[in-house]
Each structure stands twice: as structure tokens, then as C-alpha cells.
Chains A and B, each alone.
Chain A
Amino acid sequence: MILVGVWYVAALSACALAALAAVLGPARGRPALVGTITVGAGALAAVAGVAAMGGGGWQAWLPEVLPLAGVRLAIDPLSGVFIAVTGAVTSCAALYGVGYAKDGHGPAGRVTQAAVPLFVASMLLVPAAASVSTLLLTWELMAITSLLLVLAEHRRRAAVGEAALWYAVMTHLGLVAILSGLFAFAASAGGESFAQLRAAELSPAMRSAVFVATFVGFASKAGIVPLHVWLPRAHPEAPSHVSALMSAAMVNLGCYGILRVGLDLLGGGPAWWWLLVLAAGAVSALYGILHAVVAADLKRLLAYSTTENMGLVLIGLGAAGFFATAGFDALAGVALTAALLHVVNHAAFKTVLFLAAGSVLRATGTRDLDALGGLRTRMPYTTGLFAVGALCASALPPGNAFISEWLLLQSLIQSGSVSGLAGVVLMPLAVAVIALSAGLAVATFVKAFGVGFLARPRSPAAGAARESPPAMVGGMALAAGCCLALALAPVLIVPALTRPVLAVVAGTGVSARDLILAGGAGAISPTLIAAALVLAVGAVLALTRAVMVRRSRRVARLWDCGAGPMSARMEYTATSFAEPLQRVFDDVLAPENDVDVTPARESAYLVRRVAFHARVPDRIERRLYDPLLAVADDVGIRARRLANGSVHRYLAFGFCVLTGALVVLAVIE
């Protein structure tokens, strides 16, 4: 039990040491030094998390660290899951970062190098926070450090600044929501430690207000539609190992917050809370994957896929909360296990994918799938590892996401008798969303892998790509190894999630373990699927060897219909690949096509140039945020007139506000 604390404190200390080394250490070898220590920190955190999942708890109360409130930390099995995931992602990303920082890619400066371990430390602290002030403090620390990292390459690309601005605003609006919710909670509960919050008796209206406010805040961190707009901007612009940390570890903490506040601190609630969560998850899953399928920017595609996967996790959380409030604890247990398993699985494959995307970016200088291709021969390791990640992400066996989505569907199958009218209407829709997002995820990752890595290079940069240094390949391989382990041996992982699930719902009876382990009725065995697949492919290979008469294969030129050799411009691109799907969903996606015809000066009938632009804008950004921003701009410009530099006027403002406040006070009293 004390062991968890030892590992955890060791991990935090290692983070601090890494930050210190970044600030004080020599510029030469700084990335290697910092990276190595951070790898260790991640490993320690992973061990601490796994130990906590096994039932070890740890608590600390440090009154002197923070005036007035003090820092209160507590690790329970649920925190353990998120600490373990963050730790494992950190190890992979930090190892990768060592190679990434070489020859001018990735952040090598003092501040950015120090920000990585601090970011990791804050992500390790958030799930361990056990009081409102500690949670908010660590949450803000996480926001600031990640913001610094998003800004790391702002000198190179103008888009970075804009992305960081979006991120800063959205994350702080989220913070405001969480802050107001939790402060109201703490004020009504009469104390701010989580133990006091759990024991508090609140009015139903207050509870709902707290839940909705915190849900909005945490959902914005998890990239849930319509609060996702920062995600497809910030993740592509951040250095790739930071993208991996953000996309695989940080967004999870949004789910953690919903789970902690909704199910643990508030102890469940009316069914509509969870149907709200489920609906938000369903919309995000669908919206995210639809944008992923048409995205031509590899990292943007992955960012939208994060929104999709967090949506799936929220569907699981919503179902779990819904079942728990309806009193079906066993089902709630299965749904929550599925959600947590999906968090773990998503973290594993998204780490691989973002790291591999960074490897491609480093080798070719572009994230544009339309300019990639043919990396298979020049970057064999990156290609192979991306293939593993893509297989997992497309929810096909023998990948790992297949298992968690399967488990999620299992929990929903049993829900027919549970749900009442709201459930009868919403649950089939949730199932439809999961099914549709699974289908579109296949298309997305066939596109990402097939167009990005197979075929022939579509640009000279892609043709001249070189494989990444061993440290980067090592980081990716580590993450891919986690994917494979999760995919082939969920038998080991799922039981480990029992305690975290029991920490928030009293799920007993049919456990997820029985469903995954072979043996029980309706059980599935991912290991057996993989084994059968290997065996069958082996059998086919043996069969072909047996019947093959001509063993030699002939190499021939591609069939070009007898015309001359085909150029790379004749290949299908990511845009053209996704065009049919874009057409199918054009009512939702609302793609924009512009044709600019520039006539010659002599005559309008002689065309000098025709330019065609096709893009798929984020409709929510267009319809919801752009008008808001316009209004804010407008208000700002009008408000400027109030401030004309006259001291007298400012004094008058002060006087008016004071008088107004006194009047209000008098009326209220």
C-alpha cells in the first residue's frame, strides 16, 4: 500500500529532476538527458498506477505547500488507471522525443524541454488530486504547460499561434466551468476535500447544476463536440510527441473528471445526466469520424479520430451511469469496464499513430496525405508500426479497439429490459452510432495507411524520405508493443480493471472478465481469433506452396492500359479517396468548392488560369464560433470608446460601479 506512494512520489521526483536538468543542464545532450529521465518517470508512474489498480491506495496531506488550502492527494484504483496510462504514454513519447529533438525537429530549447516533464507531472497529479483546490491547481498547471508545448514551433509556422490561442481560450473557458461548478459544490458541502464532498447532502437542483457545469468543463478537455474546436487545431500544430501526450493522455483526464465528479463525488444522479453524456458522446463519435474520414492532413485526421474515440468512451460512461442509476449494477460494471478499456486502448494506438505521423513529418516535411505515399520502402519501420496502430484504430480484429467496442456493444445488448422509454429511444441510436463510427473508422484508416504509406510517392519530398533515428523507432515500437499486448491478452488487462470499476459502481454479477475470457456463454477470445487467423493464413500459404507449379514470380511493369508509364499524378489521393464518402455525407459535412477563373486581359473568353479549391470546413466552428467571435470583436471595438484615456472618466466609472454595488447590496439585504 505504501508501495504505491513510493512509486508515485519517485515518478513525480523524476519529473522534477528532468525539468531541473532541462533548465540547468548543458544545451548539448539536453534532449537525451531530459528524455531519459522522463522515460524513467513514465515507467515509475506506470508501475505506481498498476499497483494502485491492484488495490493499493495512497494518501497525502501537505498543508504547507499551498497557503490556505494545502495540497491533498489520494490515489485509488480509478486514479491508478489514468496514472498508469499517462505513465506508459510518457515513456513512449519521451523516448521518441530524444530522437525527435535531434537536428532541429521538435523542441530542444530550455523552456520547452522543461515543460514536457512538468506537463507529465501535472497529468500525474490531476487524477491524484483529492480536493477541489488541488484539482483546479493541477488542472491549470496542465493547461499552461501544454500550452507552452503547443507554442513550441510558433516561430516556424504562423498557424501555431492561432491554434494556441484557440486552445488557450477553450481550455480556460473549460476551467471556468469546472471552477464554478466545483466551487458551488464545495460551498454547499461546507468543505473542499473530496471526502467532504462525497458526504455532502445537496439539493437536486444544485447537484444537477454542479454536474452540468463540470461536465461542460471536462468535456471541453476531452474534445467533445461542440467544444472540440481547439483539438483539430492544437494537436496538428504541436510537436508530434506532445500531440501524442495530449491526445493519448491529457484528453483522458476529461473523462476521468466526468467519472470522478458524476459517479463518485455526486454518487450518480437522475437518468437524464447520463443520457446527456451518452448523447454528447454519440454526437462526438459521429462528427469526429466524419471529419476524420475526409481530412487530408494526417495529424488533423488523428485529432478528429481522438474526438471520435472520446465520444465512444463517453457513450460507455453514459451507459454505465444510466444503468447504475437504474439499479443495474452488473451492466453498469460491464459498460464502465468497456469505457475504461477503450481509454487504455485508445491511448495505446493513438500514441503509435501520432508518433508515426511525427516520424513522417520529420522525414518529409509535410502532413498532407495528398503529397505522401510510397513510404513503405523508405521508412519500413514507421510504416509497419503505423500499420499496427491503424489496424487497432479501425476496430478490426486482431486489434485492441475491437475488444473494447465489442464489450461496449455487449453491455448495450443486455440493456433492452432495463431502459424504459428514454433508453428504448436512445440506446438503439447509440448502437447505430457505434456501428457507423466503426465502419467509417475503417475507411479513415484504410485511407491514412493506404494513401500515406503504400503506393508510390506523390511528391519529391516523400520520395526522398529517410527512416527515423532508433530512439524514435524505439518509442513507436514500445507503444505498438503495448497495442499488441492489449490486443492479444485482454485476459490480463480486463481483470485489472475490476477494482477501478468497483470504485465507482457496485458492479458485480456478470463481469466483463467472464465475457472476454473464453469459456462462458457469449464469450469472446481475442487470443483465439488471432491464433485462428495466423493458422488460417498459414494453411493458405501451405496450400499455395503445395499446388504452385511455377514457383518463380515475374516482375512486370504496372498495367497502364498500354499507354506510357503512369506518373504519380495519376494515383488516387486522400482527397479523391474520400470523395465518395464526402458526397454521401455532404448534408452533414457541407463541403465548399470554389472555382476561380481568371480570364486573359484580351478577352473574357480566353482563360488564363483556373483555380479549384475544395475544403471541408468544421461546420460547428463556422456556424457557432465564428458568429460568437464576430460579436466579441464587435463588442470589443465598441468598448474601446469607453476608454478614452481621461482619468476623470475612469474615476467616474469607479464611482458608478461602487454606487451600483452598494445599491444592489442594500436591496439584497
Chain B
Amino acid sequence: MAGVVLQVVLVGLGSPLLVGVMRQVRARLEGRAGAGIWQPWRDLRKLMRRQPITPAGTGWMFRAAPLLLPGTALVVASVVPLVTTASPLDGVADLFAVTALLTLGSVALALAGLDTGTAFGGMGASREVTVLALVEPTILLSVFALSVPAGSTNLGDIVTAAAEHPLSLISPVSLLAAVALVIVSIAETGRIPVDNPATHLELTMIHEAMTLEYAGLDLALIEWASAMRLSLLLGLLAGLFAPWGIATAGAGPLALLVAAVVIALKVTVLGGLLAASEVFMAKLRLFRIPELLAGSFLMALLAVAASYFLA
């Protein structure tokens, strides 16, 4: 229980810092000084104090999305094995459930984008859902491939099995699934080359276009949730492919603390790598993105096929 609370707090407070680190890495590589890793928190602190706006003609879906998005992220944060594999919500700690919950959050935001009835909102929702419709199957497939060796989709079981048999991590199943998961995590969190989080041009937007109408506290919630989703997906990757240092059931407070430090390090490194690789890439043209995602889908399918052959 203590481990899960620690984990949720870590994700809730740490994920804006992760975004800050990633921006800082990027800034340094571009020769800039950067705003510092605390800048996302400064932005959130300011946004929380600003007035939220309800655009005329929007309804309950528009209001619900800023609550649902962080809500789903928090549920996921409480079950993903970041600090500990022993979640009291064991019935939720299922890879399919986690994927579906993250999708639910995206769906809420896409519906909110449609609810505004603006051209950009609809455009963002349409693009987001297109990407989502190709990302979700890939995640499900990679997850499936990883679950076949463990014989279960329970996150704790998978991570424990992987930690006990580290050699299974360099099997083709694991490697293919890892590549596929990395690509779709990038797509899901709206990073380059799928989406550019720093763009100002509406026509190139995916994620941003849906949030154009949000202001103040609503916007703060959405940005916070986006940061949490990013760190959760990176944390999930770290947990699945480098499952060491995660506390198991019955671990003492010290072990939990160590586990928290370890996961923070792992996610920071992953985030830094992601940010650094973004410097070397340009955003893909929108209709090239499905090709990228189809490639990752194929890799996930190969992973599943391999898992059957090796089973």
C-alpha cells in the first residue's frame, strides 16, 4: 500500500519534472540555455490560478475531459509496477486494462475536441483517433507477445517473470515488442516524429488542436495528465524491459525508497534519450505517420508470432 501511494505521488509530482528535463536536454543540444527543469511546474502553478473558460456551445463532455484524463492516468499510476509490483488494485493491474484506460483518456479528450464544434477541435480529434486506432492494436499486440511467456497479462506477474529470467529479455519476442512499444509510446504521447508538442501552427497539430479551447485550471489538468501519461508509458517500458530494482510485496520502507530512486533514474534516462533523439528528427508528414505505425504493428505481430513459435 505504502509503495503504491509513493508511486502515485512520484508520478503526480515527478512527471512535470520529467517534461522539464526533456525540454532542458533538448534546449542544451540546440545550444540554448533552457528554462530549467522546474518550468513545467511554474507553468502549472500559474495556470491553476487562472480563470477557466467555458466556450459558448460546449457541453458536459468538454467539462468532463479535464477530469477524466488525469483520472485515468492516476488509476494507471496506481497499478503500473514502477516502485512496487504489489498493487492493492490487483484486479486492475492488467496490461490490457492499463492500455484501455489510457485509451479511454485519449477518447475523452478527442470527444471534448469534437464537442467544441470548431474546425481545429474536430481536426485534432480526427487525427488523434486515427493515430489511436493504429496505436491501440499495436500496444495490445506487444502486450500480448510479452504475456505469452508469463502466461498472464497481470503486470506484476509479467515483471516478476522477466526479472527472474533476465535472458528472456533478449529473446526476439522481447526485442520486437520493445521496438514496437517504443514507437507507439512516442505516438501516444504526441512526440516527434508523430506530433510536435512545441508547434504553434494549427494545421500541423494533433494533440494541441484538441486543447485549443481550454484555459486556466482545465488546461493545467490536461497538461499535467499529458506529462503523467508520458512518464507512465516510459515507466512501463522501463518496467517491462529493465525490471530490476522494483520492490516486491512485503518490501520494507528502505527498499521502497531505493526502488523509487531507481525508477526515477530509469525514467529520466529514457526521457533524456527520447528528447535527445528528437533533436535528430523532423516531424513526419501526417499521412506518413500511418506507415510508421503500420511498421510497428507488423513488428508487434512478428513478436506475437515469435512468441507462439518459441512457446
Contact = CB atoms under 8 A, between A and B. Distances in A.
Direct contact of A and B (CB under 8 A): yes
Contacts of A579: 126
Given A450-B115, A537-B67, A553 B53 contact: yes
B48 A549 contact: yes
B114 A451 contact: yes
Nearest to B52: A553
Given A522-B154, A529-B101, A576 B49 contact: no
Contact of B133 (A419, A443, A572): A443
Interface stretch (A98-106, A359-367, A556-564): A556-564
A621 interface: no
A550 interface: yes
B97 interface: yes
A580 B287 contact: yes
A540 interface: yes
B275 interface: no
Contacts of B67: 537, 540-541, 544
User: Which of B104, B121, B138, B297 has its CB near the most chain A CB atoms (within 10 A)?
Assistant: B104
B54 A554 contact: yes
Interface string B228-261: 0000000000000000000000000000000000
Interface stretch (A11-19, A135-143, A390-398): A390-398
A233 interface: no
Interface stretch (A77-85, A301-309, A434-442, A609-617): A434-442
Contact of A394 (B107, B152, B153): B107
Contacts of A548: 48, 217
A579 B51 CA distance: 36
Give the interface residue-count category, chain B: 35 or more
A442 B114 CA distance: 14
Nearest to B154: A522
B179 interface: no
B301 A432 contact: yes
Nearest to B148: A416
A259 B103 CA distance: 34
B57 A431 contact: no
B19 interface: no
A110 interface: no
A173 B58 CA distance: 50
A529 B97 CA distance: 8
A555 B57 CA distance: 9
A430 to B, nearest CB: 10
Interface string A47-86: 0000000000000000000000000000000000000000
Given A397-B101, A440-B133, A552 B141 contact: no
Interface stretch (A124-132, A199-207, A319-327, A402-410): A402-410
A402 B103 CA distance: 12
Contacts of B123: 572
B157 A442 contact: no
Interface string B107-139: 100110011111101110111011011111110
B15 to A, nearest CB: 14
Contact of A396 (B59, B107, B213, B216): B107
Nearest to B55: A558
Contacts of B153: 409-410, 413, 522
A544 B56 CA distance: 22
B59 A377 contact: yes
A373 B61 CA distance: 14
Chain A interface, >50% SS class: helix
B40 interface: no
A456 B117 contact: yes
A385 interface: no
B209 to A, nearest CB: 11
Contacts of B140: 409, 431, 434-435, 438-439
Contact of B92 (A417, A525, A539, A583): A525
A428 B129 contact: no
B56 A558 contact: yes
Contacts of A396: 100, 103-104, 107
B157 A522 contact: yes
Contact of B90 (A406, A409, A443, A523): A523
Contact of B122 (A522, A554, A577): A577
B68 interface: yes
A439 B140 CA distance: 9
A119 to B, nearest CB: 36
Interface in B139-181: 140-141, 144, 147-148, 151-154, 157
Interface in B82-108: 89-92, 94, 96-97, 100-101, 103-104, 107
B213 A442 contact: no
A548 B216 CA distance: 10
Interface string A416-435: 11010001110111011011
B114 A455 contact: yes
Given A446-B107, A533-B71, A580 B127 contact: yes
A172 B117 CA distance: 46
Given A446-B107, A454-B114, A424 B133 contact: no
A218 interface: no
B75 interface: yes
A402 B221 CA distance: 27
Given A377-B59, A537-B67, A521 B154 contact: yes
Given A435-B136, A566-B118, A557 B129 contact: no
B308 A419 contact: yes
B117 A373 contact: yes
B42 interface: no
A536 interface: yes
A402 B100 contact: yes
B302 to A, nearest CB: 9
A581 B55 contact: no
Given A413-B147, A523-B91, A427 B308 contact: yes
Contacts of A455: 57, 114-117, 122
A446 B154 contact: no
A454 B61 contact: yes
Contacts of B157: 521-522
B121 to A, nearest CB: 8
A578 B130 CA distance: 8
Contacts of B126: 572, 576-580
B305 interface: yes
A376 B60 contact: yes
B286 to A, nearest CB: 7
Contacts of B309: 424
B268 interface: no
A94 B153 CA distance: 41
A449 interface: yes
B311 interface: yes
A580 B286 contact: yes
Given A409-B144, A554-B53, A424 B100 contact: no
Nearest to B306: A428
A579 B127 CA distance: 10
Contact of A442 (B56, B132, B151): B132
Contacts of B54: 553-556
Contact of A550 (B50, B100, B134, B141): B50
Contacts of A637: none
Nearest to A293: B133
A518 interface: yes
B290 interface: yes
A572 B125 contact: yes
A-B pairs with lowest CB-CB distance, top 10: A572-B122, A525-B91, A416-B311, A522-B152, A450-B114, A455-B117, A537-B71, A435-B137, A518-B91, A439-B136
Given A446-B110, A446-B111, A449-B111, 14 more contacts: A409-B140, A428-B301, A431-B140, A450-B110, A450-B125, A456-B117, A522-B153, A527-B91, A533-B75, A550-B50, A550-B52, A550-B216, A553-B52, A555-B56
16 contacts: A395-B100, A410-B153, A416-B148, A425-B305, A435-B137, A439-B136, A442-B132, A529-B75, A540-B70, A544-B67, A549-B48, A554-B54, A570-B118, A571-B122, A572-B121, A580-B130
